[in-house]
Amino acid sequence: MIVSRNWIERYVGLDGIEDSAVEHALTMVGFEVEGVTRKGLPPLDNIVVGEVVSHDKHPNADRLSVCQVRVDDGNPRTIVCGAKNFADGDHVIVALPGAVLPGDFEIKVSKLRGVESQGMMCSERELGLGDDHAGIAVLADRPEIGTPVNEVFDAGDTLFDIEITPNRPDALSQTGIARELAAWFKRDLVYPDIRVNLLAGPGGHLIESVVSETEENCPHYRGYAIRGVKIGPSPRWLKTALESIGLRPVNNVVDATNFVLHELGQPLHAFDVRKIRGGRIIVRQARKGECITTLDEKKRTLDPGMMVIADAERSLVVAGVMGSVDAEVDDTTTDIFLESAYFNPSSVRRTARTLGLSTDSSYRFERGVDPRGAEFAALRCIDLIVELAGGEALGPPLVAGEPPFTEREIDLSTDWVRGCLGFDISDEDMAAHLASLELDVRETTDDNDRPLLRVGIPTFRLDLYRPIDLVEEILRLHGTDKVPPAEVRTHGLLAEDDPLVVFNRRVASLLIGRGYQEVAHYSLRDGVELKKWYGHCAEDSLALTNPLASDASHLRPSLIPGLLDCFAFNQARLNPLAPVFETGRVFREYDGKVFEMLSIAFALPREGAGGWLRREPVDFHAVARVAQDIFQQAGVSVDPARFEPVSGDSIWQEGHAARFGGFKMGFEAAFGVLSLNMTSQWDLRTPVCAGAVYFTPEYLKREPRRRRYQPFSAFPPATRDLALVVPVGTSAGHVRTELQRVARQAAKSTGIEVESVDVFDVYQGKGIPADAKSLAFSIVFRSAGRTLTDKEVNPVFDAIQAKIIEGTGYAVRK
Amino acid sequence: MESDLQQILADVEEALPAIESKAQFEQYKATVVGPNGKFTAATKTIGKLPPAERPGAGKLINEYKTRLQARFDEALRRLDSAELAAKVGPPVDVTLPSPDHGPGGAHLVSQVREEICSILRKIGFVVADGPEAETEYFCFDALNTPKDHPARDLHDTYYIHPETRFGNVSRKGGERFLLRTHTSSVQIRTMLEQPPPLRIIAPGRCFRRDTADATHSANFHQIEALYVDKGVTVRDLKADLDYLFRSLLGPDAETRFRPHYFSYTEPSFEVDFRSAHLGKVGSEWMEIMGCGMVDPAVFAEVGYDPEVWTGYAFGLGIERIAMTLYGIDDIRYLYQNDFRFLRQFA
């Protein structure tokens, strides 16, 4: 909202208070100042009215003239001037040496092309008066020579653009802000005088009746009759006031209603009585399909959720929002019906929102006008109309309903206030602060004889209901800058960070330590992309109701597309690709329900790093390692034998990717080489190795288990190598699991432990059938109590070899 | 005789440096001190000398034997280290840049988040967590937001498809699912789960239906703080924020409270800061966050007795702090992921 300093000074004297102090005051009472604009002429010294006595061409410059200008009774001064828009005898504005023009431009005696100039004739722009810079300002009304420029032009104005929080509808007017400044500066606030005495009028009405058929939405409606007005332009002062806050003057009657709206915050509406059909004003809900052409010349279809002001035949105004062309005051209007009402905020809000139409009026009704403010505003407006347009108010208004009852008192313990604030403010200061806001403060005591302020809340303060609300009022006016500094009071609460957060930190440091750069992408993705790559998600379950853009219409089920975006972006910028990771929330569907999960995804270009030295390409096993390490941070032990190869998947390249876990376990992962279709869709020149790991929050929050120490043997191991020739499609994990099982069984009850079974070589080629491969395992035996001898180990190893061949079709490679 | 020995020693001294392998060395050594070596031959001549000269000759031979052995030992040491060095290859040009990927690093938003969490942990806050997909109850109702507050509009808040059912985001009733507009919803979930007193910070991602520009982003990150105890005052709030901003921005940082309005705090403030340390930017008051004393209505909603418990809450935008601290002028850089940007903070 724009606040005009000139306007508010009608109600509160701000003499001696600089604009910057007003700005500070507004800020400190809670109205953020978004801009300060100075309009018109600032106070200027050494700038006076002068008369051009004569002018000649400059001897050395075609475009300049050398003028003789009289500014006092003495000799004319020589002034060099570039403008051409004046004649001898014109009165102009002369800045004398020593003057400082807006923009800190100081005028000095100086030589221009060899001719000494003893001042400057000014344009409007140079004075800060306007934008006219076509020539110097020529004063048509010829003020007396030597008159200081500030006496020639109106004083300027300062406009403060302020933000008013939704809890303060009482501040949505010039008097509302004046009230706050009066309270801050502890100055008097003067409301406009009411001159009209309706009881002294001739009496009678211009229409027959006013009815509210929708009392909940319009509890209170007043209609005043003014007869015999003459529509015409508003006087200068009124136009200036309206223009200062960005309004366009229309005519004296409309301007008067607008002025009062912005003066007091109460919207008013003036009807041309001739246009009210049937002599009745009815406040009702609109009929289905009813149409109205609002003053912005748009035809609008109404619905029964909207309230209108109607006559006997048709609706004339969308209540509280905007009038229609049908009841508009025009140049020929003579009789006025003036509406001043209290409308239910949510009704107006709903209507304005449905119509997509926000006006100064709807904005105030939506937030809540003073329920008892209608009468005062109407009287003020009648005074202005009679003053500006003549005519007379007939008498007391037609009234429907009553203002809602909002009077209340709050008992405030001053000790309690100090307890909330944590520092001292005296009872007297508290009372003074509240009283300065026009709250009705009485000092009393409670049952324990402790001081109490009994505070009556004026009807315009819709935000004050509870003692805590008054604490804010006291603090605002005391000054939040006076909260004294203090030590941090702290004691431990003996709690630990959320396990998700702890886990996230650990994973991030793991990956950063491995050379991965963390990246961050938006959580919203394109629905088309989702369908293409994550088609298994039901199309709608991740959709937003109200996306802003089609490329941000769905929740992300995976971080992988973001990582590809990152590679594509950096590739386009010719930045060498490097390993990246992201952690964040993703949304995945299982059995028809969406689960919010924590995901960690990482990716790196398959081509190894390089530069002057090429590195080996990265493969599946490298990313499988990273995935395993991430799981380890979550306390999940990973046996690669349980990895399942991925096939027939849109995201992962068949034969080069695996899955692990499952939603029911609380975690899952896929990793390997990304489908080449996918990487080429992103125009990436290199295949990408990646992994995506998912955890349910519930899994990460499970109770941590402390591990028990396992004793380990002090004796050396005995190792036996065993190469098995197996069908080429058999997975090493499967064979290893089987071999381990067989080995443990064979060693059982021998006192020998099979410590580990590990693959150490995979071979295909010479000496092996084409449809087979050789897997070489090393089996480590150990005993807790002694050094093993061949005599002990060999029979076990022989048993293992015999057993593993049995029934599997594997052969031992000699 | 001595001249023979001298000659042998000179020959050895000349030959050894040219020898490049141990095999060659052994071969050569045999030609000197092996059974048929020249030195061995020379020592044998001792028997032919008159007995009186023998002790002198013996002494001489021993002396040369020691000297030869020293030469051989030295050569062998040289060959041993050359053999070891061969295992690590030829010498490298140490001025070549590493051909491996550059260092990993945390994203700036993560760094600033962790910095703030660490500052606040020192004064007893612990990190709490809550879902990004929220419901109207936790995001608005429980925070005392009026039913028809504009923040709830489809225009300002992202809602999730009405048919979507969440498996692990709880609802109060049948209210709508949405993307949380602030981390304040974590306050509610935490208070419903834990009895007072508590002191939590909740960093996390938030969403507002804004068109992206230099200062707006479809998602951004906040850190919410909630402190509930007996006798928490406005002065405590100010003291703790002063501590936070001095820790972040240096000892000359100042904060200013401006009265403001949030539905879930009363009184409410916006906080401005300034800090000479930030140079020109730091000389003017800059809005940085919102805060206030927890509104009694919020306590009542979660079942904390407002007559007993008091508290404060504040929420700050991580991106905003990051941009201020590092002088970044466009929030979109934080989501663009240009390596040249990200690595500046690695």
Candidates B106, B162, B210; nearest CB to A545:
B162
Q: Options 3.30.70.380, 3.40.50.720, 3.30.565.10, 3.90.550.10; which CATH number does A718-813 get?
A: 3.30.70.380
Q: In whole angstroms, how far apart are CA B51 and each of A367, B64, B96, B311?
A: 132, 20, 69, 112
Candidates A166, A569, A587; nearest CB to B133:
A587
Contact A386, A393 (CB under 8 A): yes
Q: What are the φ/ψ torsions at residue A555 (nearest 5 degrees)?
A: -70, 145
Domain boundaries A2-40+157-185, corresponding CATH code: 3.30.56.10
Chain A environment of B133 (Cβ under 8 Å): 555, 587, 594, 596
The CATH fold of domain A408-482: Phenylalanyl-tRNA Synthetase; Chain B, domain 1 (3.30.56)
Q: Domain locations in chain B?
A: 2-87, 108-345
Residue A597: how many other CB atoms lie within 10 Å: 26
**Averaged confidence pLDDT in chain B:** 92
Q: Report how far residue A90's alpha carbon sits from residue A79's, in angstroms, rounded to the nearest whole number.
A: 14
Q: Report how far residue A781's alpha carbon sits from residue A796's, in angstroms, rounded to the nearest whole number.
A: 10
Contact A203, A395 (CB under 8 A): yes
The complex's ipTM?
A: 0.88
Cβ neighbors of B147 (< 8 A, separation 6 or more) are none
Candidates B101, B238, B335; nearest CB to A521:
B335
Mapping DSSP to helix (H, G, I), strand (E, B) and coil, where does residue A803 land?
A: helix
Instruction: Give the A:B interface size as CB pairs under 8 Å.
Output: 263
Q: In whole angstroms, how far apart are CA A568 and each of A7, A516, A653?
A: 58, 17, 19
Q: Report how far residue A152's alpha carbon sits from residue A49's, in angstroms, rounded to the nearest whole number.
A: 8
- Say what the pLDDT of residue A131 is: 66
Contact A136, A83 (CB under 8 A): yes
Mapping DSSP to helix (H, G, I), strand (E, B) and coil, where does residue B2 land?
A: helix
Contact A175, A191 (CB under 8 A): yes
Neighbour-count burial of B287, counting CB atoms closer than 10 A to its CB (0-12 exposed, 13-18 middle, 19+ buried):
middle
Query: What ranges in B143-215 are assigned the alpha helix state H?
Result: 184-193
Residue B27: how many other CB atoms lie within 10 Å: 12
A424 and chain B in contact, CB less than 8 A = no
A501 and chain B in contact, CB less than 8 A = yes
Positions in chain A whose pLDDT score sits under 70:
130-132, 536-539
Q: Domain locations in chain A?
A: 2-40+157-185, 47-152, 198-401, 408-482, 499-700, 718-813
Cβ neighbors of A252 (< 8 A, separation 6 or more) are A229, A231, A232, A233, A234, A238, A385, A388, A389
Chain A environment of B110 (Cβ under 8 Å): 508, 518, 520
The CATH fold of domain A47-152: OB fold (Dihydrolipoamide Acetyltransferase, E2P) (2.40.50)
Q: How far is B238 from chain A (nearest CA, A)?
A: 7
Architecture per CATH, domain A198-401, reads as 3-Layer(bba) Sandwich (3.50)
Neighbour-count burial of A34, counting CB atoms closer than 10 A to its CB (0-12 exposed, 13-18 middle, 19+ buried):
exposed
A481 and chain B in contact, CB less than 8 A = yes
The CATH fold of domain B108-345: BirA Bifunctional Protein; domain 2 (3.30.930)
Tokens 């202005």, located at residue: A384
Asked whether the domain spanning A408-482 has the same topology as the one spanning A2-40+157-185, the reply is: yes
Contact A70, A89 (CB under 8 A): no
Q: What are the φ/ψ torsions at residue A776 (nearest 5 degrees)?
A: -105, 130
Asked if B158 lies within 8 A of A546 by C-beta distance, the reply is: yes
- Select from A606, A459, A589 the least CA-distant residue to A536: A589
Q: Report how far residue A674's alpha carbon sits from residue A690's, in angstroms, rounded to the nearest whole number.
A: 6
- Say what the pLDDT of residue A370 is: 95
- Say what the pLDDT of residue B281 is: 60
**Chain A contact probe: residue of B115, B339, B341 with most A CBs at under 10 A:** B339
Q: State yes or no: pLDDT of B280 exceeds 90.
A: no
Chain A environment of B166 (Cβ under 8 Å): 593-596
Candidates B168, B258, B339; nearest CB to A596:
B168
Candidates A346, A471, A488; nearest CB to B243:
A488
Q: Report how far residue A746's alpha carbon sits from residue A753's, in angstroms, rounded to the nearest whole number.
A: 10
Domain spanning A499-700: CATH superfamily: Bira Bifunctional Protein; Domain 2 (3.30.930.10)
Residues 160-179 of B with CB under 8 A from A: 160-169, 179
pLDDT digits (tens, 9 = 90+) for A349-372: 999 989 999 999 999 999 999 999
Q: State yes or no: pLDDT of B277 exceeds 80.
A: no
- Say what the pLDDT of residue B282 is: 61
Residue A578: how many other CB atoms lie within 10 Å: 23
pLDDT digits (tens, 9 = 90+) for A720-742: 999 999 999 999 999 999 999 99
Asked if A612 lies within 8 A of B97 by C-beta distance, the reply is: yes
pLDDT digits (tens, 9 = 90+) for B113-160: 999 999 999 999 999 999 999 999 999 999 999 887 878 888 899 999
Q: How far is B81 from chain A (nearest CA, A)?
A: 27
- Select from A372, A374, A362 the least CA-distant residue to A457: A372
Chain B environment of A349 (Cβ under 8 Å): 148
